[in-house]
Amino acid sequence: MLLTSNYSFGQSEMPRVLVFSKTEGYRHASIPDGKEAIQKLGREQGFSVDTTENAAMFKDNLLKKYTAVIFLSTTGDVLNDKQQNNFKHYIESGGGFVGIHSASDTEYNWPWYGKLVGAYFKDHPEIQQAKLRIHNDENFPVVASLPDPWQRTDEWYNFRKPPKDVNVLVSIDQDTYKGGNMNNEHPMVWYHDFDGGRSFYMELGHTKASYTEPTFLKLLKAGISYAMGNDTNQ
């Protein structure tokens, strides 16, 4: 099957997002939970959600139907050269991108994608509790309502290099857990306008519990809104 949808007849004016969760490496058990959570956000916020693991969806005439494309815990080399070109054209034409968790563990041999997502995954310690620091941003007023510090349990990535030319919303305090090795320059959630489009990335989301966590979902909702070109504080 090419995709599944929560789209209903009679809602032709409703904006759509595409959730893409193809994996060619490690597969997260939380992917179904992520799909369900995003579909619920769509019902609450008035956008339609299609889900797929079929890269054949990455055609110009299909991508143009979506205001944002969400890479939900993708891993490995998930798009061929033609599909990469089509996705690049989609972003250049004003499309939005959301990367969740291992979206940064994806397409290592495609430098443009690395710039889009912001950073590539390097390694991670065991799942553990840590404290996150909030960076207030006038374009994301929702972050001012997040707890600071924000204490939660997840799988915390180290990146090959810190992201450049991005706006950091959340970083991690490396003194509050074991295994962080990025010299305290350790962003976890960021966004940036990129190559004609919009990109939002959140490292959080390894665990199933993430997708029922109100604070996590509040931040994810804001990120999807940004990628869609909407008010991030709705």
Task: With H, G, I as helix, E, B as strand and everything else as coil, classify residue 203.
Answer: coil
The model's pTM is 0.94
Question: How confident is the model over 44-67, as a mean pLDDT?
Answer: 97
pLDDT of residue 9: 32
The H-or-E segment that residue 149 falls in is none
- CATH architecture of the domain covering 15-227: 3-Layer(aba) Sandwich (3.40)
> How far is it, in rounded angstroms, from Cα 5 to Cα 17?
10
User: pLDDT digits over 57-78, tens only?
Assistant: 999 999 999 999 999 999 999 9
Task: Give SS3 for 29.
Answer: coil
- What are the tokens at 169? 């919303």
pLDDT over threshold 80, residue 11: no
158 closest CA partner among 199, 104, 195, 78: 104
Distance CA 83, CA 18 (A): 15
Task: Tokens for 178, please give them.
Answer: 């074991």
Rounded distance, CA 153 to CA 37, Å? 18
Average pLDDT value over all residues in the chain:
94
Instruction: Write the CB contacts of 143 (distance below 8 Å, at least 6 apart in sequence).
Output: 134, 135, 136, 137, 169, 170, 219, 222
> Are 171 and 148 spatial neighbours (Cβ–Cβ below 8 Å)?
no
Residue 189 has which token pair?
A: 């959630």
Distance CA(208)–CA(28), nearest Å, equals 9
Q: Which two tokens stand for residue 126?
A: 């065991």
